[in-house]
Amino acid sequence: MVVVAQTPIVGKLKRIHMTKVINSSVIGPLKQDERFADWWKSDPIPVPFFDNLNLTILFTGFKPENDPTFIDQANQALKTFLGLAKADRKNLSELAYKNCKEFLAQIFYRQMDQALRDIKDENDIWQFIEPTKI
C-alpha cells in the first residue's frame, strides 16, 4: 500500500510524504523507513523473551517486489521467537556468553567491560543484554 499526500502551493503540487506499508500476520503493519527504502519498522510490540519489553521489529535489506516469500518466512520465524519466554533464555545462554567472549577477545581492554570479563556463570550474561530492536 502506498499513501501519497500532496498539497497545492501557488498552483503547484508538492509531495509532502510517502509511506509504504507491508503487513505481517504476526506483528501487524511495518512501515517503510524514510531514509532506507529496504528497511521496514513495526510499532513496538511486547516481546515475552525479554520480559514483555516493547520492541520495534525491523526488517532490513527487504524489497517486497524482489522477494515474495520473505513475509511468510519472517512470520514463521517471528511466531517461533515470540513464543519464547524468559525461561527459554537458559537454553541460549551458552551461545550468548560465547558471542560476548569472542567480542571481548577482539577488542582492546576497557575497564568498562570488566564486569563482562568477570562472568562466571554463563546464565548471568542476560544481565548485560539490553535489546532496543529486533
| 18 plus 72 within the same structural domain | yes
Q: How many domains does the chain have?
A: 2
Q: Give me the pLDDT at residue 7, please.
A: 45
Query: What's the pTM?
Result: 0.79
CB of 36 within 8 A of CB of 46?
no
| 70 plus 97 within the same structural domain | no
| 37 plus 70 within the same structural domain | yes
CB of 39 within 8 A of CB of 63?
no
Please list, in sequence order, all residues whose beta carbon lies within 8 angstroms of the beta carbon of residue 64, skipping any fewer than 6 positions away: 22, 70, 71
Average pLDDT over residues 7-26: 69
| 9 plus 75 within the same structural domain | yes
The boundaries of the domain holding residue 51 are 2-84
Is 134 domain-assigned?
A: no
Is 43 domain-assigned?
A: yes
Q: What is the pLDDT of residues 102-122, one digit of tens each?
A: 999 999 999 999 999 999 999
Is 133 domain-assigned?
A: no
